Amino acid sequence: MISEHDILNLFGENVRKYRRLLNISQEELAHRADLHRTYIGMIERAEKNITLVNMQKIANALEVNIEDLIKASNHGKKAN
C-alpha cells in the first residue's frame, strides 16, 4: 500500500525520469503540456498535489501512459 505522501514523490520522480529520457527541459515539457515551467518544477519536487487531468497532459507530453508515471520502478505491484 502506497501512502498518500509517497505517491506524490513517486509521480514527481517518474516525471523527471521520463523528461530526462526525452532529453527535454522543464520549460520544454511545460510548453508541450500547456502548463507553467514553475508548476512542472513543483510537481517533480512533489510540492503540489496534481490533478488527474494535468497528470494526463504530462503523460501525453512525455509520450508515456499515465500508469507509467505512478509505477514504482521495482516491484510495486500486488499479485492478484
Interacting residue with a second copy among 57, 73, 74, 75 (CB under 8 A)? 57
CA 73 to the chain's CA centroid: 13
Segment near a second copy (CB under 8 A); pick from 14-22, 24-32, 57-65: 57-65
**Does residue 79 interact with a second copy by CB under 8 A?**
no
Q: Does 67 bind a second copy (CB under 8 A)?
A: yes
The amino acid occupying position 46 is A
60 is an interface residue for a second copy by CB under 8 A: yes
Nine-digit cell string for 52: 488527474
